[in-house]
Amino acid sequence: MRLKKCVNCLQKKRCPYKKGKKHFCSKECKEEYYLNDTKTLTKELDKAMSQLVRSKGICEASDVSSCGGELQDAHFISRSNLSLRWDIMNHLSLCYKHHFFFAHRNPFEFVLWFEKKFPERYNYLKFARTQSKKWTPEEMRQTLENIKKSNLKALVRFYKEYIYAKTHNTTT
């Protein structure tokens, strides 16, 4: 067997463990690497958050369990805004019909409805979308634990900043 560079410890060794094009010299190196791999953590967080949101069991647009198909995890602010990607305030449980035909096809009406139905949540998201904070692997792992424990309070990422800004009248 040729010597390969372990992607975790960066030593040239015999690497019997492989995942895709990545080579590892030991199981420990492989586990340690994926413990801090943001791509892997992102997939796990997306899946766990989606399950948590859909576990509400109702479409938040109509307050009934099945008004237009299977429940989906919808975002008020796009997942491309990484700061809010796993903030529970940015997630809605919507049926298929409301998610695609209301939120995506009629975004203006959707925003008006959201602002009317969830005014405090709307103001929080309006403030939080202006915040920029990169995720560390440690924060991602902690967030994953909070999702698994359904610790909703810990899943509001900019709560302290929002309350401070609100009490000092600096919200947008």
- pTM, rounded to two decimals: 0.80
| pLDDT tens string 68-119 | 789 999 999 999 999 999 999 999 999 999 999 888 999 999 999 999 999 9
What is the average pLDDT across 158-163? Answer: 89
Report the C-alpha gap between 31 and 136 in whole angstroms.
Answer: 17
Give the orientation angle of helix 119-128 with respect to helix 159-167, to 10 degrees.
100
| pLDDT tens string 115-151 | 999 999 999 999 999 998 899 999 999 999 999 999 9
